[in-house]
Amino acid sequence: MTTFADLGLDPKVLSAVVDAGYTSPTPIQAGAIPPALQGRDVLGIAQTGTGKTAGFVLPMITLLGRGRARARMPRSLVLAPTRELAAQVAENFDIYAKNTKLTKALLIGGVSFKEQDALIDKGVDVLIATPGRLLDHFERGKLLLTGVQIMVVDEADRMLDMGFIPDIERIFQLTPFTRQTLFFSATMAPEIERVTNTFLSAPEKIEVARAATTAESIEQGVVRYTASRKDRQAKEKRELLRAIIDAEGERCTNAIIFCNRKTEVDIVAKSLKTHGYDAAPIHGDLDQSQRMRTLDAFREGKLRFLVASDVAARGLDVPAVSHVFNYDVPSHAEDYVHRIGRTGRAGREGKALTICVPHDEKWLTAIEDLVKKEIPRVESPLKAPAAQERSKSDQTGRKPAEDRSPAAHVEEKPATGSSSSRRSGSSRSKRGGGRGRDEPVVGMGDHVPAFLTRSFKPQADRAEETAE
């Protein structure tokens, strides 16, 4: 069996890895580290949760062991799609580079430019950034990329989803042609393949799992749900979520609950807290310091439920997440793979349950087409809304609303020549939605304006009547 000692890492790096409690590399690490140490470009394709971060951080630290950073000219660059993922890469760097003198800077939104400028001015070996903030510093003249020796693009497919590919291409063009590139993605969309063909030179391709596959250690299920009424769907759906959580019982030690919209994240988190569940929201509109506090509380076990938008779906490494609940079916099929990849990490078992309403069926079909298998259907822990309605009617002794409509008790009498039957017919005509063209208006007092009693026949019809 391969160990980290067999990969050719610097002894200082190897010591830090051992201190962190790791002995055997994951397949993506075993495949990516040796060619990276040889200075080759690397194209790594692996599902989330397979240890891609260490796959590029460890060889970077070894390669940067010799040399010295210059002011405003970082020696290496790591691009990440979200602030949280960039911060996580920085944490990994701190863990594995603790026995070295390498320096780093983290450029993300929500943090003062002044503090970041001060770090860059001192000179850093590793610059970890989101594309937008990196270009902001470059355009302000605070940063030069001509000294970059190693460039890493992490979670490239997420970059594509977030519209960062033009920024990535521009950043590639600002770095030296001789740089070494390490490119990692969970899937290979045509646009990503085009970028790799353009900017990578004869890369070593490591594919440890078929693109867009889900880990076998994750038990998956779909709870299909139809609301009793359209205006009750949101409330009943939140009730169903709580029932699913309760049904999992003690097996659910903690969980990430994913919603498609930021507003829904806030509503679901507030609802859970109102019903006594330990929950907090995280999404892109929250202050960065608040997002980090929430994530830290979840990692440390002080928070049981993290209600998140897809900003938290990629790359976040919380090893012991027991469950993932998709409150909404993701509209992008690939997001499903990344969402459920938050559980079942590092060889652990996990469970992912998804609530699917009729409107989401098309997205569920797209997900099953992507992962090439049918996701098992799971019985709802709640009774079906129709069954609940019948149960209520049984308890009260009243018939369902549709059987108690006034129309159900109207007796239709056959028409006769009598005046009473004509009045009945006139009444039925009015109930049926109108009256005959020549019938007088009945039951309206003398105060009715004359124009209301006039015929509304087209002008042509009136002309015909005059002619006759």
Full-prediction pTM beyond 0.85? no
Shared-domain flag, residues 106 and 19: yes
Shared-domain flag, residues 195 and 224: no
265's tokens: 């994240």
**Under 8 Å between Cβ of 183 and 155:** no
Shared-domain flag, residues 178 and 222: no
Q: Which residues of 85-116 are buried (b: 16+ CB within 10 A; e: fewer)?
A: bbbbbbebbeebbeebebbbbbbbeeeeeeeb
Q: What is the mean pLDDT of residues 328-348?
A: 84
pLDDT of res. 396: 44
Q: What is the pLDDT of residues 155-173, one digit of tens each?
A: 898 888 888 999 999 999 9
Number of domains observed in the structure of the chain: 2
Shared-domain flag, residues 200 and 317: no
Shared-domain flag, residues 16 and 111: yes
Shared-domain flag, residues 196 and 236: no
What distance in Å separates the CA atoms of residue 465 and residue 458, rounded to the nearest whole number?
11
418 within some domain = no
Shared-domain flag, residues 172 and 223: no
Shared-domain flag, residues 197 and 246: no
What distance in Å separates the CA atoms of residue 24 and residue 333, rounded to the nearest whole number?
32
Shared-domain flag, residues 170 and 251: no
Give residue 445's pLDDT band: very low, low, confident or very high (50, 70, 90): low
Shared-domain flag, residues 189 and 222: no
169 within some domain = yes
Residue 242 has pLDDT above 80, yes or no: yes
Domain that holds residue 362: 218-390
Between residues 425 and 12, which one has the greater pLDDT? Answer: 12
Between residues 313 and 81, which one has the greater pLDDT? Answer: 81
99 within some domain = yes
419 within some domain = no
What distance in Å separates the CA atoms of residue 155 and residue 159, rounded to the nearest whole number?
7
Domain end call among 158, 180, 207? 207
pLDDT of res. 427: 45
Cα Rg of the chain, angstroms:
32
Give residue 151's pLDDT band: very low, low, confident or very high (50, 70, 90): very high
**Under 8 Å between Cβ of 183 and 28:** no
Shared-domain flag, residues 52 and 79: yes
401 within some domain = no
For residue 228, the domain's CATH number is 3.40.50.300
Domain end call among 185, 207, 229? 207
CA distances from 379 to 172, 234, 355, 383 (A): 50, 19, 11, 9
Residue 279 has pLDDT above 80, yes or no: yes
Shared-domain flag, residues 188 and 248: no
Residue 147 has pLDDT above 60, yes or no: yes
CB atoms within 10 A of CB 344: 24
Q: What is the mean pLDDT of residues 212-241?
A: 89
* 150, amino acid identity: I
77 within some domain = yes
295 within some domain = yes
Domain end call among 341, 374, 390? 390
pLDDT of res. 440: 55
174 within some domain = yes
3-state helix, strand, coil in the chain (%, to 5): 45, 15, 40
